[in-house]
């Protein structure tokens, strides 16, 4: 898959949650333009080049879990929103954390949306489907 085709970068370490999200996105025909990584280090490697050159990936939206191995979701968010090349990429935190501190820190760092993962399968599928439709099809990002 060509990086120019990527519309959704999903950063999710739980294979069950990733599979459910992919199923919801597939239902709305958004699956063909999604790339999944399972930790924060992979996300940063995928987005940024080590040599400081152009970013490797400029998706329409990043779906980001907070509790990730290697590099936390908060650190990924901090780096994406702190870099001039990537700060306008919408980042949607999709996490199980309802902690006020996590929510406040994410918005302080510039998150575009914070969604607590519903525990119920149908609600989770519906939530991912709706956010995929909004951020990929309806939202108009800056040029």
Neighbours of 19 (CB within 10 A): 12
Nearest to 80 by CA among 48, 36, 107, 108: 48
Rounded Cα distance between 80 and 111, Å, is 10
User: Which domains are delineated in the chain?
Assistant: 3-138 (3.40.50.2300)
Q: What is the pLDDT of residues 44-97, one digit of tens each?
A: 988 887 666 666 667 888 999 999 999 999 999 999 999 998 999 999 998 888
Range 16-24 average pLDDT:
82
Mean pLDDT of the chain: 82
Q: What is the pLDDT of residues 92-134, one digit of tens each?
A: 998 888 899 999 999 999 999 898 876 666 776 667 767 666 6
């Amino acid at each position: 898959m060509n990086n120019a085709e990527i519309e959704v970068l999903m950063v999710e370490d739980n294979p069950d949650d990733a599979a459910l999200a992919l199923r919801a996105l597939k239902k709305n025909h958004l699956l063909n333009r999604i790339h999944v990584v399972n930790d924060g280090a992979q996300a940063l490697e995928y987005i940024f080049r080590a040599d400081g050159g152009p970013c490797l990936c400029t998706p329409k939206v990043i779906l980001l879990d907070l509790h990730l191995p290697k590099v936390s979701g908060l650190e990924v968010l901090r780096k994406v929103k702190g870099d001039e090349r990537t700060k306008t990429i919408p980042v949607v935190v999709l996490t199980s954390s309802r902690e006020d501190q996590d929510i406040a820190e994410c918005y302080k760092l510039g998150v575009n949306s914070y969604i607590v993962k519903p525990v119920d399968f149908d609600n989770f599928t519906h939530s991912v489907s709706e956010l995929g439709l909004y951020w990929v099809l309806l939202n108009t990002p800056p040029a």
